Amino acid sequence: MKYGAVFDEGAVYVNDDDSLIIEQILSGQKELFRLIVKRYEKTVYGMGLGFFHNEDDTSDFTQDVFLKVFKSLHRFEGRSRFSTWLYKIAYNTALNSLQSKKEYRSLAEDEIIPDRDTPERNMLRKVIREAVHEGVNDLPDRFRICVDLFFFYDRSYQEIEVITGYPVNTIKSHVFRAKKMLRKKLEDYMEGGME
């Protein structure tokens, strides 16, 4: 068991399964919600940064999302992964907060953790990261959110449909067109950088 901790005198153990944690929260062990927050806080915060571009608004957004998740936890039916349900709440919360003025920053902007490689490989990695960042920023918002959810959050097309409300075929088209646009951008970037 991952957590292997006793949370009350009844020796309740919590494993790594979201559904078990949720079941225990709904049966009265509300303090276990902190495990859900700990597990998903960075991801929700990262999604918030994509929409709000500053730490204060993103922190408020993150708190708002977890408050909504806690209050509506009893409505989670388990028809999708819990993380998909949570990301849908986060996505809708962000859209509602921004109303019609939606600006989205991709996770491609985040720093990739450098490894202990040669200076040349690190420089090449930096150039590629900058090209991807620039390419993703040039994508329309509807493409960017699909690309982020697919590549950076590792969501399936069906999960992205649940989160965004876009039909699966539209999502596939957005991801395909975004990859094509990014490939062209990277080719142009590399050709320009080699001259």
Residue 71 belongs to some domain of the structure: no
Q: If we measure between CA atoms, which residue out of 91, 180, 103, 176 comes closest to residue 135?
A: 180
**Distance of alpha carbon 119 from alpha carbon 116, whole angstroms:** 9
pLDDT band at 11 (very low <50, low <70, confident <90, very high): very low
Rounded to an integer, what distance in angstroms lies between the CA atom of residue 55 and that of residue 50?
A: 11
- Asked, for residue 131, whether it belongs to a domain, the answer is yes
* CA distance linking residue 76 with residue 169, whole number of Å: 26
99 vs 122, more confident: 122
Is 78 among the domain residues? no
**Band of residue 41 on the pLDDT scale cut at 50, 70, 90:** very high
Other C-beta atoms within 10 Å of 30: how many? Answer: 12
Q: How confident is the model at residue 3 (pLDDT cuts 50, 70, 90)?
A: very low
Whole-number percent of the chain with pLDDT over 90 = 25
The burial of 42, by beta-carbon neighbours within 10 Å (0-12 exposed, 13-18 middle, 19 or more buried), is given as: exposed
| Residue 176 falls inside a structural domain | yes
Beta carbons of 12 and 21 less than 8 angstroms apart: no
pLDDT band at 186 (very low <50, low <70, confident <90, very high): confident
Based on the structure, what is the number of domains in the chain? Answer: 1
> Nearest 5 degrees, angle CA 184-CA 185-CA 191?
90
In the chain, how long is the greatest CA-to-CA distance?
Answer: 70
Rounded Cα–Cα distance for residues 28 and 146 (Å):
37
| Residue 55, in any domain of the structure | no
Position with higher pLDDT, 60 vs 189 = 60
pLDDT at 37 over 90: yes
| Average pLDDT value over all residues in the chain | 77
Q: Which residue has the tokens 């509807």?
A: 142
Q: Which domain holds residue 189?
A: 106-195
Provide the token pair at 176: 């395909």
Question: Domain for residue 116, yes or no?
Answer: yes
Residue 74 counted as domain residue: no
Q: Measured between alpha carbons, how far is 42 from 62 in angstroms, rounded to an integer?
A: 9
Tell me what pLDDT residue 106 has.
53
- Residue 120: inside a domain: yes
Write down the pLDDT at residue 118. Answer: 74
Q: What is the CATH number of the domain that holds 146?
A: 1.10.10.10
pLDDT at 74 over 60: yes
Structure tokens that stand for 62 in this block: 């993150």
